[in-house]
Amino acid sequence: MTTMIRALLGATALTAAGFAASAQDTTLTIATVNNGDMIRMQGLADAFTEETGIALEWVTLEENVLRQRVTQDIATNGGQFDVMTIGTYEVPIWGAQDWLVSLNDLPAEYDVDDILPAIRGGLTVDGELYAAPFYGESSMVMYRTDLMEAAGLEMPDAPTWDFIKEAAAAMTDKDNEVYGICLRGKAGWGENMAFLTAMSNSYGARWFDMDWNPQFDSEAWANTLNDYLDLMNSYGPPGASGNGFNENLALFQQGKCGMWIDATVAASFVTNPNDSTVADKVGFALAPDNGLGKRGNWLWAWSLAVPAGSDNPDAAKQFIAWATSKDYTALVAENEGWANVPPGTRTSLYENPEYQEVPFAQMTLESINAADPTAPTVDEVPYTGVQFVAIPEFQSIGTAVGQTFSAALAGQMSAEDALAQAQALTEREMKRAGYIE
Amino acid sequence: MARAVTTQRKAINTLIAWIVGLLIFFPILWIFILSFHSEGDAIKSPLEVITSTWTFESYATVQERSNYFRHFWNSVVISVGSTVLGLIIAVPSAWAMAFVPGKRTKDVLMWMLSTKMLPPVGVLLPIYLICQNLGLLDTRIALVFILMMINLPIIIWMLYTYFREIPGEILEAARMDGASLREEVIYVLLPMAVPGIASTLLLNIILAWNEAFWTLTLTAAKAAPLTAFIASYSSPEGLFYAKLSAASIMAIAPILIMGWFSQKQLVRGLTFGAVK
Amino acid sequence: MATKASRTAARAMISPSVILLLGWMLIPLGLTIYFSLLRYNLLMPGARPFVGWENYEFFITNPAFTTALINTLLLVGGVLLITVIGGVLLALLLNLEMWGQGIVRILVIAPFFVMPTVSALVWKNMFMNPVNGLFGYLAKGLGLEPFDFLSQAPLASIIGIVSWQWLPFATLILLTAIQSLDSEQLEAAEMDGAGPFSRFFYITLPHLARAITVVVLIQTIFLLSIFAEIFVTTNGGPGNASTNLTFLIYKESLLSFDVGAGSAGGVIAIILANIVAIFLMRMIGKNLDA
């Protein structure tokens, strides 16, 4: 009897070992960004390896370094990565170049139709889905309920820019280091320009007209920049021209910001009592508008894609299907609670009654739905993308324009000069790239 | 010899030197302190930081998240490998330049130094494409070779200036005694050159250890050294002071400890021909 | 003195490094020059037509180009000034008799072991940040308005950070040189009634000339291509206030992946670096011959 069991056990062990050995031959190299949700995925991915026998190698890098590494790799067909974490900016450009493997053949149980339409639209080129969203974000207003109350104001669900100005003025108390509003000021296409471009959309401005002529000489841009500078100079924290997402997050968590308009994913950080001193005093509202039909919020999704140069496209797809599935969401919820699941990708998540209890869930969904990357501006434009222009030249143009705007914020040049410079340098780059004569 | 310094004088010297030393060292001390606190505490005001609870939390997180030892080992292999390889090539060259100087020796030396002026960002793409075609992306061999090439001029130059301090008469004497070139190098030159070689070795290991451009752009998972490890802790979404501090301490500690133990060696050999 | 045989041997010993460095220089440089004459953007596959000087023209006519040139020189000059003066003072200090000299020495050398990215991040967030940084707390403690280093004085702040990293190197070399100074000579001068200042200027400083040359030479090579510190702290801004040549090339070659313009920038940077180098050699090369 016992011998029998032993023999059986032995045989099972052998089979298991054999299986493990053959499966271990497949190793995926995954390039990802070092944001909290990805770090969590890395921790939970052992489950995937156990299930499938596919081993994973992680290359976790800071956003700017990651972007440079993967772009270089994919453009030279370097083949160093099997799965890349990229954003809604890269997907349309790379997809159009056939640099990515289409994900249209993901299994039925993956339920592609469950993905939020706004996000899915941003990841699809000519009907081919080129990346699966890991988490999606928009931007919204995060504000201090206690300060708002003390100021005798009430934040509407959909505030206007005028209200934001009024509230910022009322909440500012510089002697006690409370600044009415914190906004991004650090130069960069993904830093201050993400915010300013989204803001400009709600002011009726746009980057280019239908003939690709830069529009920084328009009145709408002048209004955008003037209002931004006015807000920051009067009610913003010192050193704002160096503040990016992280710096503002630290300020807000220490109770030094009355309002902060930034990524919806920040909501889980500012309401986390371990890190935030104001965790129980945070309210959320949609990004402001000016009554022109567009709000000042952006749309972004960190997504997983398979580069065409991958040696293991099937295993890579298998991993992507796992990491962006409903089951993964459930796994995170089980381990870390519903507030920590990757947000903003699936309709089913927002229909889940348990997730609806999370304080920022509803506002995140509404913000995402309020953004439309295919029609981001009041006037018609030839490009897609809300807080960026999905053309390869945008990274450097956006950063250069961001530098002039952050110089204006630092008081080194006037708003007029900054706009004139932005116009000139964008024209120069667009001429070089052959968009305009 | 030097006169005895009064105790009082010595005390003043000590006081000033320690204050200056601690001020310069302070940033490192501060990240050391921050690394032992939770993220929430690490962004508080300095006094609150010191009085808040000390914890190993950040180190545990870093340890759990990254394969520190693989990065560490890659750093060791790359920095030591490139330096040793560089020395093997540089010692004969520097010896020849120092003891058999020709008319153009100086020019050659200066030309060598000028190759270091190639700005890495400008030549990134050519090098990247070459590595890709040779299948050397994400390998330690590629980095050993590239860092060796980058530091070779410095290595040759350091050795050259050091070798020149070795009195030629000794070599002449050895030669008179019928020593062959090989014997001359092994029995006469090398023993005298050891301090210079040692400090060249140390300095270049440090330079290679801290090199962050090539090591980041040419590696992915397998060959990534500690610079890549750091790149996964700088500015993520969320608070990162404590984790960054812990990761930084882990990245610089090995080289700092090495420097500590070898500082006498390091100082002794860095003469650059300053000793007459 | 040297025989013909030893000359041949010497040539054989030099050749490996010369050949390697020649290859290292010519292959990437050749490719860079070649790329700089093409319209070549990594993000736009397709033909790479020959365009002659267009990329050079584009790079030089960039309004930020002159600023970047000036910033590069200011950065190199500023750091050299601080590290040489600071290095001499520190070396003099460390050469005095004291207790715990070894420990003080390692404290002073330590910044050299810190990776550039780490030191930039630490200075930016933990010291210079006007709200959370230590300097900010210090200013507030003294009842002053915190100074916003990186937006009000970006280049000076970066010079400060880089100087902190390179001060140990200068100190180390200068200290070695000072230790080799003949103390009898100093004593004799003192007997003759020379004050500490004239002793320093007439004996110590000339003795250090060569070591200073070395510091200037080696640091210049590294400082011309400072990148990580700018990238992490200010991203070249506000405006172009802290953009140097390397950062400008980075914008072309790694942000827009415009290989043509990036390569043109690289070639220009190499030429300029060599001009600086020749200039340096002329000025201070004499010291090295001694």
Nearest to B46 among C117, C134, C217 (CB): C134
- Gyration radius of chain A over CA positions: 23
CB contacts of C94 in chain B (<8 Å) are: 17
Looking at the fold, whether B51 and B88 belong to one and the same domain comes out as no
Distance of CA B71 to the CA centre of its chain: 16
For the cut 90, the answer to whether the pLDDT of residue B187 exceeds it is no
Please report, for the domain that includes residue B83, its CATH number: 1.10.3720.10
| Domain hosting residue B209, numbered range | 68-232
Q: Is residue A117 part of a domain?
A: yes
Looking at the fold, whether B77 and B49 belong to one and the same domain comes out as no
> Binning pLDDT at 50, 70 and 90, where does residue B239 land?
low
Per-residue pLDDT, averaged over A19-40, amounts to 76
Looking at the fold, whether B189 and B97 belong to one and the same domain comes out as yes
C102–B251 C-beta distance less than 8 A: no
Q: Is residue B251 part of a domain?
A: no
CB contacts of C254 in chain A (<8 Å) are: 68, 72
The Cα A65–Cα A30 span in angstroms is 15
- What type of residue sits at position C273? A
For the cut 70, the answer to whether the pLDDT of residue A5 exceeds it is no
What is the per-residue pLDDT across C228-238, written as a single tens digit (0 to 9) for each?
888 888 878 78
Looking at the fold, whether B149 and B222 belong to one and the same domain comes out as yes
The proportion of chain C whose per-residue pLDDT surpasses 70, expressed as a percent, equals 96
Per-residue pLDDT, averaged over B5-34, amounts to 90
Nearest to B46 among C122, C137, C187 (CB): C137
B108–C14 C-beta distance less than 8 A: yes
Q: Which chains touch B (3 or more CB pairs under 8 A)?
A: A, C
For the cut 90, the answer to whether the pLDDT of residue B104 exceeds it is no
Looking at the fold, whether B125 and B83 belong to one and the same domain comes out as yes
For the cut 60, the answer to whether the pLDDT of residue B271 exceeds it is no
For the cut 80, the answer to whether the pLDDT of residue B114 exceeds it is no
Looking at the fold, whether A287 and A309 belong to one and the same domain comes out as no
The alpha carbon of residue C46 is apart from the nearest alpha carbon of chain B, in Å, by 17
Looking at the fold, whether A121 and A175 belong to one and the same domain comes out as no
What is the tally of structural domains in chain B?
Answer: 2
Q: What are phi and psi of A128, to 5 degrees?
A: -100, 125
- What residues in chain B have their Cβ under 8 A from chain A's Cβ atoms? 38-40, 43-44, 64-66, 128-129, 132, 137-138, 216-217, 220-222, 224, 228, 231-240
C126–B110 C-beta distance less than 8 A: no
A392–C124 C-beta distance less than 8 A: no
Looking at the fold, whether A158 and A62 belong to one and the same domain comes out as no
Return the bridge partners of A57, or none: A29
C124–A242 C-beta distance less than 8 A: yes
Q: Is residue A365 part of a domain?
A: no
B233/A214: higher pLDDT: A214
Find the angle CA(C18)-CA(C20)-CA(C25) to the nearest 5 degrees: 90
**A-B Cβ pairs (cutoff 8 Å, strict):** 91
The proportion of chain B whose per-residue pLDDT surpasses 70, expressed as a percent, equals 92
B266–C172 C-beta distance less than 8 A: yes
The Cα C178–Cα C96 span in angstroms is 11
A253–B239 C-beta distance less than 8 A: yes
> Binning pLDDT at 50, 70 and 90, where does residue A395 land?
confident
For the cut 80, the answer to whether the pLDDT of residue C249 exceeds it is yes
Looking at the fold, whether A289 and A315 belong to one and the same domain comes out as no
For the cut 90, the answer to whether the pLDDT of residue B274 exceeds it is no
For the cut 70, the answer to whether the pLDDT of residue C54 exceeds it is yes
Looking at the fold, whether B20 and B98 belong to one and the same domain comes out as no
Q: Averaging pLDDT over each range in B113-122, B129-138, C273-282, which range is the top one?
A: B129-138
Average pLDDT, chain A: 89
For the cut 50, the answer to whether the pLDDT of residue B37 exceeds it is yes
Q: What are phi and psi of C54, to 5 degrees?
A: -55, -45
Least confident segment among A164-173, A218-227, A322-331, C99-108: C99-108
Q: Is residue A6 part of a domain?
A: no
Q: Whole-model pTM? A: 0.85
Looking at the fold, whether B221 and B94 belong to one and the same domain comes out as yes
Per-residue pLDDT, averaged over A115-127, amounts to 90
Please report, for the domain that includes residue A347, its CATH number: 3.40.190.10
pLDDT for C286: 61
> Binning pLDDT at 50, 70 and 90, where does residue C204 land?
confident
pLDDT for C2: 54
Looking at the fold, whether A268 and A413 belong to one and the same domain comes out as yes
Do residues A323 and A134 touch, judged by C-beta distance below 8 A?
Answer: yes
Looking at the fold, whether B42 and B172 belong to one and the same domain comes out as no
The proportion of chain A whose per-residue pLDDT surpasses 70, expressed as a percent, equals 95
β A55-61/A27-33 pair status:
parallel
Chain B contacts in chain C segment 18-47 (CB below 8 A): 18, 20-21, 24-25, 27-29, 31-32, 35, 42
pLDDT for B230: 83
For the cut 50, the answer to whether the pLDDT of residue A19 exceeds it is no
Looking at the fold, whether A126 and A44 belong to one and the same domain comes out as yes
What is the per-residue pLDDT across A315-335, written as a single tens digit (0 to 9) for each?
999 999 999 999 999 999 999
Task: Identify which of A328, B2, A282, A81 has the alpha carbon closest to the alpha carbon of residue C185.
Answer: B2
pLDDT for C122: 86
Nearest CA in chain B to A274: B40
A404–C254 C-beta distance less than 8 A: no
Looking at the fold, whether B216 and B162 belong to one and the same domain comes out as yes
Looking at the fold, whether A256 and A387 belong to one and the same domain comes out as yes
Looking at the fold, whether A317 and A288 belong to one and the same domain comes out as no
Do residues A129 and A102 touch, judged by C-beta distance below 8 A?
Answer: yes
Select the residue from B79, B124, B218, B250 to test the C interface by mutation, using most C Cβ atoms within 10 A: B124
Looking at the fold, whether B80 and B212 belong to one and the same domain comes out as yes
For the cut 50, the answer to whether the pLDDT of residue A23 exceeds it is no
A407–C241 C-beta distance less than 8 A: yes
The domain locations on chain C are 65-289
Do residues C195 and C111 touch, judged by C-beta distance below 8 A?
Answer: no
The Cα A384–Cα C236 span in angstroms is 28
Average pLDDT, chain C: 84
Nearest CA in chain C to A254: C132
pLDDT for C190: 78
Per-residue pLDDT, averaged over C10-26, amounts to 85
The proportion of chain C whose per-residue pLDDT surpasses 90, expressed as a percent, equals 17
> Binning pLDDT at 50, 70 and 90, where does residue B216 land?
confident
> Binning pLDDT at 50, 70 and 90, where does residue A340 land?
confident
- What residues in chain A have their Cβ under 8 A from chain B's Cβ atoms? 29, 31, 33-36, 39, 42-43, 57-63, 65, 68-69, 72-73, 76, 78, 80-81, 244-246, 249-250, 253-254, 263, 265-266, 269, 274-277
pLDDT for B268: 64
A310/B4: higher pLDDT: A310
Looking at the fold, whether B54 and B119 belong to one and the same domain comes out as no
Q: Averaging pLDDT over each range in A4-18, A341-355, C138-152, which range is the top one?
A: A341-355
Residue C45 CB coordination number (10 Å): 12
Nearest CA in chain A to B238: A246
Looking at B44, B60, B76, the residue that finishes a domain is B60
The alpha carbon of residue A204 is apart from the nearest alpha carbon of chain B, in Å, by 30
Q: Is residue A261 part of a domain?
A: yes
Place of tokens 């980058």: B150
C254–B181 C-beta distance less than 8 A: no
Looking at the fold, whether A408 and A283 belong to one and the same domain comes out as yes
Q: Is residue A309 part of a domain?
A: yes
Do residues A413 and A225 touch, judged by C-beta distance below 8 A?
Answer: no
Looking at the fold, whether A244 and A173 belong to one and the same domain comes out as yes
Residue C189 CB coordination number (10 Å): 16
Least confident segment among B113-122, C23-32, C65-74, C78-87: B113-122
pLDDT for A12: 45
Q: Is residue A366 part of a domain?
A: no
Could you tell me if C253 lies within 8 Å of chain B, comparing CB atoms?
Answer: yes
Q: Is residue A7 part of a domain?
A: no
CB contacts of C31 in chain B (<8 Å) are: 123, 125-126, 129
pLDDT for B125: 80
Select the residue from B85, B272, B276 to test the C interface by mutation, using most C Cβ atoms within 10 A: B272
Do residues B29 and B12 touch, judged by C-beta distance below 8 A?
Answer: no
The tokens for B54 are 């000390």
Q: Is residue A388 part of a domain?
A: yes
CB contacts of B213 in chain C (<8 Å) are: 227-228
Place of tokens 């004799």: C188
Least confident segment among A21-35, A211-225, B48-62, C163-177: A21-35
For the cut 60, the answer to whether the pLDDT of residue C290 exceeds it is no
C257–A75 C-beta distance less than 8 A: yes
Nearest CA in chain A to C235: A187
- What residues in chain C have their Cβ under 8 A from chain A's Cβ atoms? 41-45, 58, 61-64, 124-125, 129-132, 145-146, 148, 150-152, 231, 233-241, 243, 251-252, 254-258, 261
Distance of CA A96 to the CA centre of its chain: 21
**Exposed / middle / buried, residue A376 (Cβ in 10 Å: 0-12, 13-18, 19+):** buried
pLDDT for A168: 95
Residues whose CB falls within 8 Å of the CB of residue C246, separated by 6 or more in sequence, listed in order: B119, B121, C72, C224, C225, C226, C227, C230, C269
| Domain hosting residue A309, numbered range | 24-130+299-356
Per-residue pLDDT, averaged over C68-75, amounts to 93
Question: What ipTM was predicted for this assembly?
Answer: 0.85
The Cα C24–Cα C21 span in angstroms is 5
Return the bridge partners of A29, or none: A57
pLDDT for C242: 87
What is the tally of structural domains in chain A?
Answer: 2
**CATH architecture label of C65-289:** Orthogonal Bundle (1.10)
**CA of A167: how far to CAs of A183, A196, C48, in Å?**
14, 20, 55
The Cα C65–Cα A319 span in angstroms is 46
> Binning pLDDT at 50, 70 and 90, where does residue B44 land?
confident
CB contacts of C42 in chain A (<8 Å) are: 71-72, 75-76
